Amino acid sequence: MKKPSNKQIATIIAEIADILEMRDEMIFKIRAYQRAAREIEEYPQRIADIDDIKKLQEIPGIGEGIAGKIIEISETGTCEYYEQLKKSIPVDITTLNSLEGLGPKKIKRLYDELGIQTLQDLEKAIREKKIQKLEGFREKTEQNLLKSIESFKKHKGRFRIDEALHYAEAVVENLKKHPTTIRVELAGSLRRRKETIGDADILISSKDPEASMDAFTKLPEIARVLGKGKTKATIEFANGFQADLRIIDDKTFGAALQYFTGDKSHNIKVRKIAIDKKFKLNEYGLFNKSKKFIAGKTEEEIYTKLGMQIPPAEIRRDTGEIEAALNNKLPKLIDVNDIKGDLQMHTTMSDGLNSAEEMAKMGAKLGYEYIAITEHNTEGLEVAGGVSSREIPEYINKLKSSKADKLKCQILAGLEINIAKDGKLTVPDKYLKMLDFVLVAVHSHFRMSKNEMTKRILTTFENPYVHAFAHPTGRLLLRRDPYEFDFEAICKKAKEKNILLELNAHPERLDLDGESAKMAKEIGCKFTLGTDSHSTTQMENMKYGVYMARRGWLEKKDVINTLDYQDLKNYLAKRYLR
């Protein structure tokens, strides 16, 4: 048996927590499994390779009991305790729990009261209007669940970019090391850094194609081989994600890379430009009138022959990049190295795993000049921990006294405030004034009419102490669609009032997406990038936010946390004077 990945082990541990919650067991026990699951998923090395129970217990959050279960899972793929628990409540928790609006407690009630075990059972009960009859459920609950089911079905077979890249980059790294490999590259939507991915396209040129195919289909992370021919093979990873490998002649590698990177609309237009210049472009190269091969070893060669700059893969969508490339006007897109700080994160003061000091140390390690700790405000929002208005002075003191100067990475005292239903802020101005960085966001009452939601958000923008609007659309990738609001109106007001729009880099959000960021930029908005981290390891997610920023044509000057510390402080302080 192949050793399970950290993600697979974490999934089982998290599911144990869910079942314990369904069984109404002690809260500390449930939390212990939840925390362990997060630590396992984020652990930088492969947990299954650690077979010493003492060593496992050195990982924060892993006690002797859970360590034993990890070893059992590593060796057998499951553990006795989990199997027993599952038998006690025979429900498809993985699926039901992934539905927005359902948690372990509700799943348990649906099982107890209606015998619902599967997604099909749930759909049937909704059709028969049985759920609205349960105490505490309403007709609206039913409609919302139906929406969740639709969204679940729509997203089936798609994967978040972080998960997809994790597997695909491992394949590329592995093949790069293989002695027969000449070139190997990611193509397709993964190279374009789309936020969700269907499957991975990998291209390789090789001195020995057969050996490359063998190497590919025998990679350690693979669950099964779905097909293997002379020039193409398909494999599947344990989580169901698939990857295609195509063998390409090295002389035409650039042409294939251009062709398989796409997207379709970009390729159609580029081929048309080729035709206009009396060329022909396909996946085998660029050819002249007499069918002679004139370019194709590299992408650069092809675009140059067509009289264009080379559009970065992230913006190949035919939304202006071709015209810009023809006129030598492509933007110089932001790069992850331009980022000088991270402007959204949480700590042990609320639901995070690490202290502010630990986060700052990680910031320094990532080369940042500053980070903003942006705890949730407790008023009007149910959240573990968090900071109430009256606690703000003490909160700021605590952050400022955490030996920040010794940490090389400055700590900005920030707050993430829920926008109340009527758009009012729950924190009085006299407290807002004391903070370095104030984020506002929608965390409740998602289902309002478009007009109401727009008005609600616009109202907050009138407050002179608000700096930024966090995760603006509220989407959770593959789980929750954005709420309805007038995005254009929000952008215009944000520009007028100098409110920054956040590009939330958490791979579960990636909010704004590239298309929205581009639109906002064209209106004249400025942006902030934050990882919304709940642990030090999540701070490395900044790159995903940068991918979205690049997809949105953003440049260094569009993003506030490319400023150095003093300039940023000045920028944020000026807010009150506007």
262 versus 423: smaller Cβ distance to Zn ion: 423
Residue 178 zone, left/alpha/beta (φ > 0; ψ -120 to 50; rest): beta
Are 437 and 574 contacting, i.e. CB atoms less than 8 angstroms apart?
no
Q: Which stretch binds Zn ion (CB under 5 A): 175-183, 230-238, 436-444, 569-577?
A: 436-444
Query: Can you tell me whether residue 70 is helix, strand or coil?
Result: helix
Q: Which stretch binds Zn ion (CB under 5 A): 47-55, 152-160, 435-443, 472-480?
A: 435-443
444 versus 570: smaller Cβ distance to Zn ion: 444
Report the nearest approach of Zn ion to the CB of residue 416 (Å).
5
Please enumerate in sequence order all residues whose Cβ is within 8 A of that of 291, keeping only pairs 6 or more positions apart, or say none. 280
Query: In whole angstroms, what separates CA 343 from the centre of its chain?
Result: 16
11 versus 504: smaller Cβ distance to Zn ion: 504
- For residue 16, the number of C-alpha atoms closer than 13 Å in the C-beta half-sphere is 27
Among 48, 186, 343, 441, binds Zn ion (CB under 5 A): 441
343 versus 441: smaller Cβ distance to Zn ion: 441
DSSP class of 301: H
Q: State the number of binding residues for Zn ion (CB under 5 A).
A: 1
CA torsion through residues 317, 320, 325, 329, sign = negative
Please enumerate in sequence order all residues whose Cβ is within 8 A of that of 208, keeping only pairs 6 or more positions apart, or say none. 180
If 0-12 CB within 10 Å is exposed, 13-18 middle and 19+ buried, where does residue 403 land? exposed
Tokens, residue 250: 């090295």
Q: Which stretch binds Zn ion (CB under 5 A): 111-119, 140-148, 240-248, 438-446?
A: 438-446
Which of positions 540-559 make contact with Zn ion (CB under 5 A)? Answer: none
256 versus 441: smaller Cβ distance to Zn ion: 441
Q: Which of 465, 426, 469, 420 lies closest to 445 in space, CA to CA?
A: 420
Q: Which of 575, 251, 256, 250 lies closest to 440 in space, CA to CA?
A: 575
Are 359 and 539 contacting, i.e. CB atoms less than 8 angstroms apart?
yes
**Can residue 512 be called a binding residue for Zn ion (CB under 5 A)?**
no
Report the nearest approach of Zn ion to the CB of residue 485 (Å).
16
285 versus 545: smaller Cβ distance to Zn ion: 545
Are 456 and 422 contacting, i.e. CB atoms less than 8 angstroms apart?
yes
Report the nearest approach of Zn ion to the CB of residue 374 (Å).
8
262 versus 507: smaller Cβ distance to Zn ion: 507
Q: Which of 236, 239, 162 lies closest to 194 in space, CA to CA?
A: 162
Backbone angles phi, psi at 412, to 5 degrees: -90, 135
DSSP class of 471: S
Q: Which stretch binds Zn ion (CB under 5 A): 13-21, 49-57, 61-69, 440-448?
A: 440-448
201 versus 375: smaller Cβ distance to Zn ion: 375
Report the nearest approach of Zn ion to the CB of residue 569 (Å).
23
191 versus 534: smaller Cβ distance to Zn ion: 534
316 versus 475: smaller Cβ distance to Zn ion: 475
Burial track 379-391 (b if 16+ CB lie within 10 A, e otherwise):
bbbebeebbebeb
Are 72 and 65 contacting, i.e. CB atoms less than 8 angstroms apart?
no
- Going from the C-alpha of 73 to that of each of 54, 64, 76, 310, 476, the distances in angstroms are 16, 14, 5, 48, 30
Report the nearest approach of Zn ion to the CB of residue 202 (Å).
35
Report the nearest approach of Zn ion to the CB of residue 474 (Å).
9
362 versus 468: smaller Cβ distance to Zn ion: 468
Report the nearest approach of Zn ion to the CB of residue 442 (Å).
9
Q: Which stretch binds Zn ion (CB under 5 A): 90-98, 168-176, 238-246, 433-441?
A: 433-441
94 versus 444: smaller Cβ distance to Zn ion: 444
226 versus 381: smaller Cβ distance to Zn ion: 381
- Minimal CB distance residue for Zn ion: 441
205 versus 541: smaller Cβ distance to Zn ion: 541
Binding flags for Zn ion, 343-382, as an x/- string (CB under 5 A): ----------------------------------------
Helices (H) and strands (E) in the chain, counts: 25, 17
Other CB atoms within a 10 A radius of the CB of residue 209 amount to 16
- Residue located via tokens 């472009």: 281
Report the nearest approach of Zn ion to the CB of residue 81 (Å).
34
If 0-12 CB within 10 Å is exposed, 13-18 middle and 19+ buried, where does residue 469 land? buried
Report the nearest approach of Zn ion to the CB of residue 486 (Å).
21
Gap between the Cα atoms of 430 and 31, Å rounded: 36
Binding flags for Zn ion, 148-187, as an x/- string (CB under 5 A): ----------------------------------------
CA torsion through residues 71, 73, 76, 77, sign = negative
Report the nearest approach of Zn ion to the CB of residue 345 (Å).
11
Tokens, residue 31: 């939390």
Are 56 and 36 contacting, i.e. CB atoms less than 8 angstroms apart?
no
Query: In whole angstroms, what separates CA 46 from the centre of its chain?
Result: 21
334 versus 441: smaller Cβ distance to Zn ion: 441
Report the nearest approach of Zn ion to the CB of residue 533 (Å).
12
| Amino acid (1-letter code) at residue 544 | Y
| Amino acid (1-letter code) at residue 535 | S
Are 221 and 236 contacting, i.e. CB atoms less than 8 angstroms apart?
no
Are 184 and 202 contacting, i.e. CB atoms less than 8 angstroms apart?
yes
Q: Which stretch binds Zn ion (CB under 5 A): 161-169, 231-239, 323-331, 441-449?
A: 441-449
Report the nearest approach of Zn ion to the CB of residue 386 (Å).
11
Q: Which stretch binds Zn ion (CB under 5 A): 33-41, 47-55, 320-328, 439-447?
A: 439-447
Q: Which stretch binds Zn ion (CB under 5 A): 26-34, 434-442, 490-498, 513-521?
A: 434-442
Which stretches of the chain bind Zn ion, using CB under 5 A?
A: 441
